[in-house]
Structure 1
Amino acid sequence: MSIATVDTSGGLTHDNLRTLLAAVCAATGLDPGGAELIKFTNNAVFRLRGAPVVVRIAGSTAARERAATVVGVARWLAGHDFPAVRLLAGLEQPISLHGQVITLWERVPETGPRPDGADLAVLLKRLHRLPGPPPDLPEWRPINEVRQRLAEPEDLATGDHAFLLDQCDQVEKELAGLRFRLPRGVIHGDAFLGNVIPGTRGPVLCDFDGTTIGPREWDLTPVAVGRLRLDYTTDDHAMLARRYGVDITEWDGFPVLRRLRELKLVTSVLPILRSNPGIRPQWEHRMRTFKAGDLTARWQPYR
């Protein structure tokens, strides 16, 4: 299938994604037949059936701009033998096709037990102790990413757009006033259990889109917010806090980081809100309760 048949002006539709998948497989000698779309939020992720490979297509301008950094982080972690997903060897990555950016990864067989908060704490402590950050790793500027998503939303009402922009300004101002206690350094940036894979030799970390130089408190925030906001049955936060040695919810700056995390959870799918209509009901629920300042409403993961 020719890449010239892809028209992404209407968004990364499922048909466009399949066409891009076929094109990158043709270019790399892989078979796209029977590939399974396992995720389609801020990135689209396919699991190939004919080879132990995962194909990741960036779903927004922000994700496309971060792809080279993601590749650099993955290579840096591999150099330290860190338990993380590995890039598919023998290819120059990231791969650019028709304005889209794609990376290929070795698939990790998910055969071990479900990772928990203690497993994530072990990975984060090890990550936070690694020497010599990868070259050109950017500084943590989380509001920039949110504003990028707000610059290319699909089907977002004018009032909601204005509200979210105002939230960016407010949270950015509050972040500037925080006094972090933990040392700065390399952070994963999106450290929740969805980014930990149960590998055959133990849990491995994935998804380095948010990896930067920043406050370690941010890596302890997603699981804490997950306990408070998402309808999880396991208290992974208690396990993470005990193993890492810090309970982020006891810090007086946590409410600001919680608001930032929830702002990111609301805006993460804005660039594909029309392209992936299945997520719309959950997004509307998140937006409505976030806008109302309802801290007790429970959210569900995007499906």
Structure 2
Amino acid sequence: MPIARISYTEEDAWRDLPILLGAAGLNESLKNEAELLHYNQNSLFRIPSLGIVMRNVRPNPLAAGRAKRVAKLGEYFRQSSAPTVRLADGFTQPINVGDLWATIWNEEERRPKDQIKGRHMGSALKAFHEIDISVPELAALPRWQNPLADSKSRIRQGFTKELITKEEYEKLIALMDELERDIRIVRQQLEKMFTLLHGDPQIANLLFRDDEPIWCDFDSTMIGPSQADLAVTAVNAIRFNKSERHKQAAAAYGQDVMQDEHWDLFRRMREAKLIASNILNLKDHPAIRPEFEKRYRSVFEEGNEIWIPYTEAKENYDSENPGWLDQQASTQTAAKVTADAARRPRPDCRRPRNPRPR
């Protein structure tokens, strides 16, 4: 089984980009025009001249399976009318070299967050949930068995790496165990409502083609209850003060999950996942820990504090601390320079050996 790299930084992502470009049959020099759109579990690199986006999976033991599953899904979506981004033509996907895996997608329109409305999310999610899950191409998709497994894994890793305290660890694991018991109680009932779940229907994963909203990012796509997707905008309404967006989404979808008999379970599940989502990044940025503590406190003390996205917390901190922002910019520039140096052939500095006298 592949071994996960101890750490994988933006510098690593830039260094690996030309390797994956070459494996895809593209010129490695395209790295020079690449734009990093996103860096987390995946690195998204936009290649403007080709109109494509390369989605590189962070090296880990699950990377191969995830990339293969997403590529297979992409092939099905490409042949259907699904409201999704399309795999780029002309490549054998997924792209692989060593422990590096990637998929390549057509570039679509990205809109500013304030231009994406709840009605866009609701209509796109409705169309996604209406995809026929009985087709053979979707038979191998994972089913909604243990939706909190990833979160529990992050919590355990966070405690092992001393990113969270023993008390935080114990309370979070106890919460996850309680939720898993509640899921088992109603699982058979929920199976009657299974559909194709996107898994992460966030604004960041909504693109546009011909002015119609479409989805990207299928790492978490599976067969499961529609409430799991619908709870995303509903919890955002409560925790991120996005009530108007939720109202629009519910109206466009034709259902308000807050009226569902299982709403409390899905609300608590979503909140728990949002708390655990950035545990492994707690030391990456000074703004992440305070936001994590706020979320943790408001759930366990039943507070009504408004949360903010981790990205917004970072942006706020950066604007208030320009010195930190300059440091980050220098680090990113150095990452590209280091990546270039790593790819450049090293001169042979060995002293030439004297030929033996004959």
Same fold (TM over 0.5): yes
CA 149–63 in structure 1, closer or farther in 2 if over 3 Å, else same: farther
Structure 2: runs of 5 or more not aligned = 312-358
Higher helix share: 2
Task: Name the structure 1 match of 2:19.
Answer: 23
CA shift for structure 1 position 185: 2.0
**Alpha-carbon contact 1:61-1:148 (below 8 Å) kept:** no
Distance change (3 Å), C-alpha of 1:219 and 1:66: same
The match for 1:4 is none
Offset at 1:108? 0.6
Residue 78 of structure 1: how far off its partner (Å): 1.9
Q: Which moved more, 1:74-83 or 1:40-49?
A: 40-49
Q: Secondary structure at 2:50's aligned position in 1?
A: coil
Code of the residue aligned with 1:27 in structure 2: it is: A
The aligned residue for residue 92 of structure 2 is: 92
Distance of 1:52 and 1:227 partners within structure 2:
35
For the residues of structure 2 that align with 1:45 and 1:282, how far apart are their CA atoms? 27
Which residue number in structure 2 is paired with residue 280 of structure 1? 288
Residue from 248, 264, 268 that aligns with 1:259 = 268
Q: Which amino acid is 1:107 matched to? A: E
3-state SS, counterpart of residue 235 of structure 1: helix
- Residues 1:177 and 2:166 aligned together: no
- Whether the 8 Å CA contact 1:115–1:193 is kept in 2: the answer is yes
Matches within 5 A, 1:228-267: 228-232=238-242, 235-267=244-276
Distance between the aligned counterparts of 2:298 and 2:289, measured in 1? 14
Question: What's the offset of the Cα at 1:223?
Answer: 0.5
Q: Which amino acid aligns with 2:91?
A: L
Deviates more, 1:200-209 or 1:147-156: 147-156
Contact kept in structure 1, 2:142 and 2:222, CA below 8 Å: yes
Q: Name the TM-score, length of structure 2 as normaliser.
A: 0.73
Counterpart position of 1:149: 154
Letter in 1 for 2:41: N
CA 1:102/1:268 → structure 2, altered by over 3 Å: closer, same or farther?
farther
More displaced 10-residue stretch of structure 1: 102-111 or 243-252: 102-111
Verify: 1:189 aligned to 2:199, yes or no: yes
Is contact 1:56-1:104 (8 Å) kept?
yes
> CA separation of 1:298/1:111 partners in 2, compared to 1, >3 Å: closer, same or farther?
closer
Larger Rg over CA atoms: 2
| CA drift at 1:10 | 3.9
Match in the other structure for 2:326: none
Aligned-partner SS, 1:194: helix
With over 3 angstroms needed to count, the CA separation of the structure-2 counterparts of 1:47 and 1:266, relative to structure 1, is farther
CA distance in 1, matches of 2:286, 2:31: 24
**Which residue is 2:334 aligned to?**
none
Aligned length: 295
Question: Aligned partners of 1:164 and 1:38: how far apart in 2?
Answer: 32
Structure 1 gaps, min length 5: 1-6
Deviates more, 1:106-115 or 1:16-25: 106-115
- Deviation at residue 280 of structure 1 after TM alignment: 2.5
- Please report the TM-score for the alignment, with normalisation by the length of structure 1: 0.85
Aligned position for 1:120: 121
Q: Distance in 2 between matches of 1:282 and 1:90?
A: 46
TM-superposed CA distance for 1:73, in Å, is: 1.9
d(CA) in 2 for partners of 1:8 and 1:213? 27
1:45-72 CA distance string (max 9 Å, x none): 2223443221222247486242222222
Deviates most, 212-221 or 261-270? 261-270
Shift of 1:260: 1.1
Cα displacement (A) at 1:175: 1.6
Looking at structure 1, the residues matched to 32 and 268 of structure 2 have their Cα atoms a distance apart, in angstroms, of 42
d(CA) in 2 for partners of 1:62, 1:265: 23
